Structure 1
Amino acid sequence: MPKKTLKRLMPDPGTIKNNKYLGLLGSRLHDNNLWYLNRHSAAGAFAVGLFCTWMPIPFQMVLAALLAMTFRVNLPLSAVLVWLSNPLTMPPMFYFAYRLGSFLLDRPHHYKHFELSLSGLSSAMSSAAPPFLLGCLVMAIVCSATGFMVIHGLWRWTVSRRWKRRRRIP
């Protein structure tokens, strides 16, 4: 996605900085690196956003914003990328994470005797949680690293292509 399109879609930093509910964050929100869009901030924002996408927790956007502030990458981009995991995409994503975790732990990935009761649900969750969480962590790391490298590479490729075009034009 071109830089101009991303800038147009991002919210105005002044509006966010002056929001009374975000005053708790204090001066950390006024860091210009959180709002500036360059190769490093965009690639870092993709890494943070894609990492938080795979976290099976509520309020993923808050975690993405806190990590963006910690690593000083583009905050709006990292928060928006969390929406890759939405109510439609979460079931297949988390099922894949569970299957991956089951494969990595060498555990069976199905239940033969599941009973619909509190004790049945509790036993199913206790045996399903380790593979599910491992799968989510592995996918978060892989997607985060891949997103960082792809965006970093695409940005460099786009800039070098523009420079080559400029050299050709007399």
Structure 2
Amino acid sequence: MALTVETGEGLAAADAYVSAAAFAEWVANYYGTTLPGSDAIERAIRKATAYVDARYRGRFPGCRRRQRSQALEWPRVDAVDAEGWILPFGEVPAEIVRATCEGAYREALEPGTLAPDLDRGGAISRIKAGSVEIEYAGTAPAATVFQDIDHAVARLLRPASVMFGTAVRC
């Protein structure tokens, strides 16, 4: 099934922030390669879009343009970036598209990368196989941290300190 790419209208059926063609161009420009298989690419884009929305939704500024009737978190109204610049309400910011591409690239290379099932919540204290042993610090995250995706959206996110104690309904 073909992707339904968000246009900035707040589509009820959107399932992607980037088209397969735009993603392929991005991969060629950033990684100097191509990825085979259009069905696998579309699945990776859908997974990456869902990942970006789920991971950052609580820190995105503003409110969804069409409230609950739009499928994805973007476009948004009353949104400003970390420097105070107003984000146009009729578009998906380039940072969101880039983060989606970063995630889709990883997901295309290794399906399941973005949202793996975590045994026992992923809180592994120690792994030992023969003489090889790995023990994680108590503060180690339970899942992989994708820094390129974090960096891509960083300018758009509200600081965590602003979130606590603030309830906003659009």
Q: Which category describes the TM-score, using the shorter chain as reference length? A: under 0.3
TM-score by length of 1: 0.26
Larger helix share, 1 or 2: 1
Larger radius of gyration: 1
TM-score (norm 2): 0.26
Structure richer in strand, relative to its length: 2
